[in-house]
């Protein structure tokens, strides 16, 4: 193919995106669009799967049967969402197994928040309220992203996740209105998860190297700082409503814009956690790797059985 | 203690403890699709435990609900089968345990739909739909493992050898069972055992697995005498309720 | 020993009687039976369906998007396939 026709394909491609026409798997797309999407979708998928672990940690210790069932259902949804997303990545030619291997070797990243430990039951509340809250802020605009399979996966995910944040807030508000120990537990969880939740939106716009191109491709619809601000503005009043304190002594309310302005974020910590130096990075990846290794004979058994049966059928 | 109360506890505790075991798999399954499937089954079991233990509390009439029964009894007061408290081991142990249990639960619930106790009948009706699916799922896996690779066959057979000793407890007709059966509340366990044997024989045949010759049997769970494993399950299960008594969550 | 991945399956769900099966996504399974069981767990956790079809992804033969013009544009000119092409006198209903 000559240069001219690639340029033409590229401009036709961008025209489609500008006109909000979805790109589908077999359509022509620039290679860097494909690669960026694969990276973004698989990071997202990994986050769902690794994200099962901090919450899975409390299923067997949930304080009552209702909470246990809800938590199980929520963690199960996360597995489902990971699967929808790996499927979306597969439509771009990213083999699931290889994608997962990239996670296990540390080549692929996932949301840094899941490298923090869940130390008390209140952390289930904080994760649902803050982490799912932040995730929803990120995901709702992605339902309109330019790549069809990703957009459709996000529609499903957002629909199913609507209960996740609510159940977390319900846990927090129950604790905040409970005994002094419970209230302290809730505040402690908020203290530990607040800053990592803000970091979930990624580095400041000035530092974010992919944002501009991704916005032009409509695979990112808002900047990191916009989403972070949106999240803070809705969450601060919620905390006040249940009598918890946001652990940011520098936070100020800007009367003119109606925004809560947060204090400095510890980006050194963020980058260290991204690099693998968070409190649980190693544990999380070890668990995933072990699950894959221990499951190998199971997957092989199913393959062998399917092959035998196919042979018997044709014999 | 009323017989109906204790009988309902047996049913509820089986679901509770097996649900606990399965939920330990969450995030550790051999493949993502299977993680989702096992969590589904765990969810069904926790749901059954909730209905059954709530009902047991009602029957008892001492203002204990499902939660206080699930979280605040002593180990001897749990009446589940030894089979369901056995550790997960590898995937073969988990699935063979599940299969041996499902193959018993399905005919039990089928017949319990006609129980003279209308509440148990309706719980059985709802749970049966779930249990049919559980049995389908676990049978498929037992067959795949048994008739899969050399390694999977070895692991599945080892699992059968390990767990077989806990199966006779499923069918022990003690005073309580026979009283419940006489009153038309519980089904006849002998009939259920027949069904169970048919299912096990058929699935093992397809899976090329054999029933172990060593027939020494373990029992005790139904009377509150458990293996060492239950204590650890309860330590986790009860942690919050014991550490923070009398609070709402 | 083979270390190959389970094949990919496309999943179609009929959400209620009277509707078509609709593509909802994909998953991995060693064989068709397992694909149906997995589809039930993955795609109908909220009672979204009453019937499931699975097709191995490699068996789906798709039209080539670069042929889209020749495949689909001719139909655009066949406006006589659409009911609004025809004049119906005022006062005629049920048509």
Residue A42 is predicted with a pLDDT of 96
B65: number of Cβ within 10 Å: 15
In contact, B19 and B46? CB cutoff 8 Å: yes
Residues of B in contact with A83 (CB under 8 A): 32-33, 36
> Which residue on chain C is closest to B33 by alpha carbon?
C38
CA distance A282 to A275: 11
B209, part of any domain: yes
SS (H, E, C) A8-40: HHHHHHHHHHHCCCCECCCCCCCHHHHHHHHHH
Closest partner CB to A79 (pick from B32, B67, B244): B32
B156, part of any domain: yes
Q: Does B21 touch chain C (CB under 8 A)?
A: no
Q: Which chains reach chain A with 3 or more Cβ–Cβ distances below 8 angstroms?
A: B, C
Domain of B139? 3-243
Q: How far is CA A176 from CA A132, A182, A243, in A?
A: 19, 7, 7
Contact C6 A296 (CB under 8 A): no
Rg of chain A taking only CA atoms, in angstroms = 21
Contact A84 C8 (CB under 8 A): no
pLDDT in tens, A53-108: 999 999 999 999 999 999 999 999 999 999 999 999 999 999 999 999 999 999 99
pLDDT in tens, B206-241: 999 999 987 778 999 999 999 999 999 999 999 999
CA distance B172 to B222: 9
pLDDT in tens, B93-108: 999 999 999 999 999 9
B128, part of any domain: yes
The whole-number average pLDDT for the span A223-233 is 96
Q: Does B243 touch chain A (CB under 8 A)?
A: no
Q: A206-210, A305-309, C26-30 — which is least confidently predicted?
A: A206-210
Is the per-residue pLDDT at A7 higher than 60? yes
Q: How many domains does chain B have?
A: 1
| Touching B: A residues 154-183, CB under 8 Å | 171, 174-175, 178-179, 181-182
B37, part of any domain: yes
B73, part of any domain: yes
Closest partner CB to B39 (pick from A79, A294, A296): A79
CATH code of the domain in which B206 resides: 1.20.1260.10
The dihedrals phi and psi of C14, each to the nearest 5 degrees, come to: -95, 115
Contact B33 C45 (CB under 8 A): no
The whole-number average pLDDT for the span A12-18 is 94
Contact A182 B32 (CB under 8 A): no
Residue A2 is predicted with a pLDDT of 55
**Residue among B93, B99, B102 nearest B30 (CA):** B93
Contact B43 A295 (CB under 8 A): no
Q: Does C47 touch chain A (CB under 8 A)?
A: no
Residue A44 belongs to what H/E stretch?
helix A31-50
**Residue among B65, B242, B41, B216 nearest B141 (CA):** B41
What percentage of chain A reaches a pLDDT higher than 70? 99
Q: Which of helix, strand or coil describes residue A114? A: helix
Q: How confident is the model at residue C1 (pLDDT cuts 50, 70, 90)?
A: very low
Give the contacts of C88 (CB within 8 A, at least 6 positions apart). C95
Q: How confident is the model at residue B196 (pLDDT cuts 50, 70, 90)?
A: very high
**Dihedral sign for Cα atoms in the order B202, B203, B208, B212:** negative
Contact C30 A306 (CB under 8 A): yes
B248, part of any domain: no
Is the per-residue pLDDT at C2 higher than 50? no
Residues of B in contact with A301 (CB under 8 A): 144-145, 148-149, 151-152
Closest partner CB to B43 (pick from A69, A290, A295): A69
Q: How confident is the model at residue A211 (pLDDT cuts 50, 70, 90)?
A: confident
Residues of A in contact with C59 (CB under 8 A): none
pLDDT in tens, A147-197: 999 999 999 999 888 899 999 999 999 999 999 999 999 999 999 999 999
B249, part of any domain: no
Closest partner CB to A305 (pick from B23, B144, B155): B144
Closest partner CB to C42 (pick from A80, A95, A309): A80
CA distance C25 to A263: 43
């Amino acid at each position: 193919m000559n240069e001219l026709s690639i340029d033409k394909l590229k401009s036709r491609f961008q025209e489609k995106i500008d006109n909000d026409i979805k790109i589908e798997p077999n359509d022509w797309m620039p290679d860097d669009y494909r690669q960026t999407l694969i990276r973004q979708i698989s990071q997202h998928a990994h986050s769902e799967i690794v994200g099962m672990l901090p919450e899975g940690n409390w299923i067997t210790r949930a304080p009552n049967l209702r909470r246990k069932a809800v938590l199980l259902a929520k963690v199960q949804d996360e597995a489902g969402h990971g699967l929808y997303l790996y499927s979306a990545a597969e439509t771009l030619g990213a083999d699931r197994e290889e994608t997962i291997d990239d996670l296990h070797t540390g080549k692929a990243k996932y949301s840094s928040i899941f490298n923090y430990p869940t130390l008390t039951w209140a952390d289930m509340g904080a994760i649902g309220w803050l982490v799912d809250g932040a995730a929803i802020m990120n995901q709702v605009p992605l339902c309109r992203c330019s790549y069809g399979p990703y957009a459709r996966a996000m529609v499903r995910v957002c629909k199913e996740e609507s209960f996740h944040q609510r159940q977390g807030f319900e846990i927090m508000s129950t604790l905040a209105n409970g005994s002094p120990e419970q209230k302290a537990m809730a505040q402690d969880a908020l203290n530990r998860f607040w800053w990592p939740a803000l970091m979930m939106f990624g580095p400041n716009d000035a530092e974010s190297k992919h944002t501009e191109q991704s916005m032009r491709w409509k695979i990112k619809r808002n900047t990191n700082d916009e989403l972070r601000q949106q999240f803070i503005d809705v969450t601060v009043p919620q905390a006040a409503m249940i009598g918890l304190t946001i652990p940011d002594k520098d936070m100020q309310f800007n009367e003119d814009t109606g925004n809560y302005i947060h204090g400095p974020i510890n980006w050194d910590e963020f980058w260290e956690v991204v690099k693998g130096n968070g409190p649980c990075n190693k544990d999380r990846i070890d668990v995933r790797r072990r699950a894959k290794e221990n499951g190998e004979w199971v997957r092989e058994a199913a393959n062998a059985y399917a092959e035998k049966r196919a042979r018997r059928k044709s014999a | 203690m009323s017989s109906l109360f204790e009988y309902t506890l047996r049913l509820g505790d089986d679901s509770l403890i097996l649900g606990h075991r399965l939920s330990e798999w969450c995030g550790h399954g051999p493949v993502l699709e299977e993680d989702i499937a096992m969590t589904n089954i765990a969810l069904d079991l926790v749901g059954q435990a909730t209905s059954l233990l709530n009902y047991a509390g009602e029957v008892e009439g001492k203002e204990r609900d499902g939660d206080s029964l699930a979280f605040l009894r002593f180990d001897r007061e749990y009446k589940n089968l030894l089979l369901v408290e056995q550790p997960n081991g590898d995937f073969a142990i988990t699935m063979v345990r599940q299969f041996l249990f499902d193959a018993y639960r399905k005919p039990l619930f089928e017949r319990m739909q006609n129980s003279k106790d209308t509440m148990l009948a309706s719980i059985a009706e709802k749970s049966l739909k779930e249990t049919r699916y559980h049995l389908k799922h676990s049978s498929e896996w037992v067959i795949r493992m048994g008739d899969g690779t050399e390694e999977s066959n070895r692991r599945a057979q080892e699992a059968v050898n390990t767990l077989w000793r806990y199966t006779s407890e499923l069918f022990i007709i003690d005073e309580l069972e026979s009283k419940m059966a006489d009153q038309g509340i519980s089904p006849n366990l002998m009939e259920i055992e027949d069904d169970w044997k048919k299912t096990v024989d058929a699935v093992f045949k397809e899976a090329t697995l054999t029933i172990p010759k060593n027939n020494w049997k373990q029992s005790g769970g139904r009377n509150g005498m458990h293996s060492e494993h239950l204590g650890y399950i309860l330590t986790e299960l009860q942690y919050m309720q014991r550490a923070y008594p009398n609070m709402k969550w | 020993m083979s270390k190959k991945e389970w094949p990919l399956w496309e999943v179609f769900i009929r959400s209620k009687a009277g509707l078509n099966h609709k593509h909802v996504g994909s998953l991995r399974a060693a064989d068709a039976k397992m694909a149906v069981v997995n589809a039930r767990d993955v795609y109908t956790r909220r009672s979204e369906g009453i019937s499931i079809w699975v097709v191995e992804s490699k068996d789906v033969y798709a039209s080539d998007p670069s042929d889209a013009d020749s495949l689909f544009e001719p139909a655009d000119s066949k406006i006589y396939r659409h009911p609004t092409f025809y004049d119906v006198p005022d006062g005629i209903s049920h048509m």
